[in-house]
Amino acid sequence: MMNPVESMQPPLAECIICHKPKLYGIHICGQMICLDCERAIVHADVEDEAYAYYVEEMKRIWLSALSL
């Protein structure tokens, strides 16, 4: 049986980009990227400093997924 309290409070997952606990996000390889960061990545310019940061973070996910 489901616990009604638990079903009302889904566990927060930590976003691997901004490291903030978020309710919703995209799950990739067991990691979570929150919607804010996902949007930021999509709209980031390749010239942008933030873009390089996001790419590095994404690489970290792929690498940790591969090493499982």
Binding residues vs Zn ion (CB under 5 A): 15, 17-18, 34, 37
Rounded to 5°, the CA angle 48-49-50 comes to 90
Output 4 or 10, the one with its CB closest to Zn ion: 10
The answer to whether 47 and 66 are in contact (CB under 8 A) is: no
CB of 53 vs Zn ion, minimal distance in Å: 12
- Kindly tell me which of 17 and 31 has the beta carbon lying closer to Zn ion: 17
Q: In this complex, which beta carbon is closest to Zn ion, that of residue 15 or of residue 31?
A: 15
